[in-house]
Structure 1
C-alpha cells in the first residue's frame, strides 16, 4: 500500500505537537490534526518545571522572551503561617495558547510536517486488524488519510483509545474538582514565588506567569463544585479571600476571561499501543493536577515515543520498541502518580489543636532549633507506610547538598 504519511497525530497540544516536531526532524512524513483553531487556550496545569524539554524542542528562549517570569521559590501556607524555600531549578508558567502555538509553529517549519486545524478524527481505518489511517472531517468536509501509524494525543477522553479498545489500568476515579482563572493586578510578592495554600482541606494556588498576570486556582471538596459553578467568579474570589494575605492582594485584581472549572481529572494508565496505533499525553496517562506534573509528563512521553520510532528505524520490531516505550513511560510516571494520589487522599481539615500547635511552632525559633536535627528522622518515621514519599524528599534534597549517612 502506498501510505500518504508515516504517522497521523490527533491532538496538537503539548504531547502531539512536540511529537510532530521530534518525528519531523527525523524526516518522517507527519500529519498533525486538531479540532481547535490556534492559538487557543485549554484546561492545563500550566506548570513547566522541566525546561530542558522546551530547550530541546527549540522554544525555550522565544517562550521566555514573551515575558514569562522565572520562578525559583515555593511557599506553602497553613493558616496564618507559611514556609518558603528555593527550588532545584526554575519554573516557567506559560498560557497554553502561547505554548501550543509555538510548538505548532516549530512543527510546521519542518518540510515533512503538515498541520490541519479545525479537523476532527471520525474513525479509524483498518485492514486485516491493523490501523492504516483515519477518517477525518475538516471544516465540514469528509476525507481520509492513510498512514503507517496513528498516534492519539487527543486527551483523557481519547477517541483513538476508545476506537482501538485501549484498556485502562491503575484506575482511580476523579477525586477533586479544580477551578482556575487568569488575573491581572494581583499585588505581587518581592520576587516570583509559587504559592500553595492548604486551607480547610482545600488547596489554593498562585502561579506567577508574566509580569502583572497570575494564574489563580483552587482544588475544592467534591460537594462544593455544583454550587460554586452557579456563580464561579464570586464564589472563587470569596474562597480565595480566605487565604492568608489574599484579600488585600486581590483588591485591585481583575479576572481575564472567565473562571474555568472541571469536576476532576481521572487517574489512570492506558495500554499504550497496538497494531498501527499508539497513545501519548493524557490519552495514555492522566492524574489529578494538584502536583502540577501534566505538561512535563506529556513532553516526557513524546520524547520516549520518538525514541521508540528511532529504534524501529534501526531495525527493532515495532512490538519490542513500543513495549519498551510503555514500560519506560510507566516506570518514570508511576512514582508521581502514586505520590499525587497519596497527597489528595491525605488532605483533610486540620483540628484546632493541630492548627494551634503549628502556628506556635512556625513562629518559635527555639522549637525549630530542637526540631531541625531530627527533622529527617521524624519525616521518615511518619511516612513509613508510604516510603516513596521520603525517597522523593531525599532525592530533591540531594540538589541542595544532602548526602545519606
Structure 2
C-alpha cells in the first residue's frame, strides 16, 4: 500500500467522510483513517435541517438514507413556558423537510460514498498517536492498527475530523479562540411507541431551568434529550443511580403539562440512556502549517441548536474549495488559514453565539417571554424564527420582523 498522499483525514464520520468525498471529487489523493469500525453508533445530535438535507442530496446519498424508512418532518412545536410556537420550516435550496437519521446508517452511507471516489483510500481500526513534522510543518501521522502494528503515512496536509476531543487538534497545538462552558447536564434516550399527534415534528420544551427536545428518527423511534442544571446535584445523583428512572422523573416533574410528559410514560426505552455532564462550547484555530480542523474538532456547540451536522459538511466543502484554489500550499498556509477562518466565521458564528446563549441557565425575562408569545402568535415571525435554524434567514431578520410587528403597539 502507498504511504504518501495529498491529504490525510483523521476521523471518518460525518466531517471526515464528507471531506474525503469532496476532496476525492476534486481530484486529490486522500487517506481516510478511522479508529473505530463502521457502521457503529456514537453519541450525537444527528439532525439535519432542510439546508443540510440539500447537501445530502447533492452528495447522492439521500435516496439510500431514505431507504432506512427514517421519516422526514417539516414542522416544529415549541413551548417556552407559556409561549407556544408551532409552524413549518421555510423552504431553502428547494428543500423544506428535515431529517434525523441514526448515526449507524448515516456514517456508513457517507463513508461508502467517500470510499467510492477513485482517489480515496480508507483504513479502519487505525488510531493516530502522533504527528510527523519537518521544519515545524506537519507532514504526516504515526499510528497503531488494531492488531498492534505501528505505521506512518505522509501527506501535504493532515486534517483532524476526529471530534470534540480531537487528537490531531491537541498534537497540532491549535489555539482555542473561544470557550463558553455549559450550565447543563444533557442526557439522551431512544424510545419506541412515542406517539405524536398529526404529522411528524420536532418538539422543544423549556420550562424554567428544564429543557427537552424530541426528534422522530430511524427504526420507528423518537430520540429524546433532557437537560437540567449541573448545579442540581440531587438530579445528577438520581441519573447516576438509575438513568432511565431519573430521565422519566425529570420529564414528569419538570415538564408536567406538556405533550412530552403525557406521551413518554407509555413509550419504551430502546437501549441505554447516555449523557454528558458538562461540555464547552468552543471554537478553535482552524488551520496551521500542514494541518487543519473540521467539524466538532474545530467547533463544538450546545446540541440544542442542532447545527453540528451542517457545520461539519459545510466546513468540509469550504476547506476543499480553499485547497483546490491554491497551487502552492507550503507558501500559502497563512492565506489559506485566513480565508478558511473568515468564511466559516461569516457562515457559522451567529449560530455559535446562539448556542452560547442557550447553554447558560439564565431566567427568561418578562420582555423576552413577551417576544416569545409574539413569535408564536404571528406566522411571519414564526417563519423568521424557524428560518434561523435552516439558514433561510439570519437572526437579524427575526429582529426586524419583531420590530415591525411591535410598531402598531407603541
What TM-score comes out, normalization by structure 2 length? 0.84
Tell me, in whole angstroms, the C-alpha distance in 2 between the residues paired with 1:38 and 1:373: 43
Tell me, in whole angstroms, the C-alpha distance in 2 between the residues paired with 1:373 and 1:5: 52
Return the structure number with greater relative CO, CA threshold 8 A, min gap 6: 2
Tell me, in whole angstroms, the C-alpha distance in 2 between the residues paired with 1:389 and 1:338: 12
Task: Give the drift of 1:313.
Answer: 4.2
Q: Secondary structure at the match of 1:169?
A: strand
Task: Give the drift of 1:124.
Answer: 0.3
Tell me, in whole angstroms, the C-alpha distance in 2 between the residues paired with 1:293 and 1:118: 28
Q: Does 1:199 align with 2:210?
A: no
Partner of 2:343 in structure 1? 328
Task: Please give the per-residue CA displacement for 1:138-170, whole angstroms capped at 9, x wherever unaligned.
Answer: 112111111111000111121111111110012
Aligned pairs for 1:5-404 (under 5 A) are: 5-49=5-49, 50-79=52-81, 82-88=84-90, 89-139=96-146, 140-210=148-218, 212-223=220-231, 224-242=235-253, 243=255, 244-313=258-327, 317-345=332-360, 347-348=362-363, 391-393=396-398
Q: Secondary structure at the match of 2:41?
A: coil
5+ residue gaps, structure 2, are 91-95, 386-392
With 225-234 and 265-274 compared, the bigger mean Cα shift is at: 225-234
Task: Give the drift of 1:269.
Answer: 1.3
Query: Relative to 1, partners in 2 of residues 1:12 and 1:375: Cα closer, same or farther, differing over 3 Å?
Result: closer
Task: Give the drift of 1:328.
Answer: 0.7
- Cα RMSD for the two superposed structures: 3.2
Tell me, in whole angstroms, the C-alpha distance in 2 between the residues paired with 1:207 and 1:396: 28
Tell me, in whole angstroms, the C-alpha distance in 2 between the residues paired with 1:117 and 1:271: 27
Tell me, in whole angstroms, the C-alpha distance in 2 between the residues paired with 1:326 and 1:287: 17
Tell me, in whole angstroms, the C-alpha distance in 1 between the residues paired with 2:326 and 2:37: 33
Query: Relative to 1, partners in 2 of residues 1:233 and 1:374: Cα closer, same or farther, differing over 3 Å?
Result: closer
5+ residue gaps, structure 1, are 363-367, 380-387
Tell me, in whole angstroms, the C-alpha distance in 2 between the residues paired with 1:246 and 1:289: 19
Q: Secondary structure at the match of 2:359?
A: helix
Q: Secondary structure at the match of 1:125?
A: strand
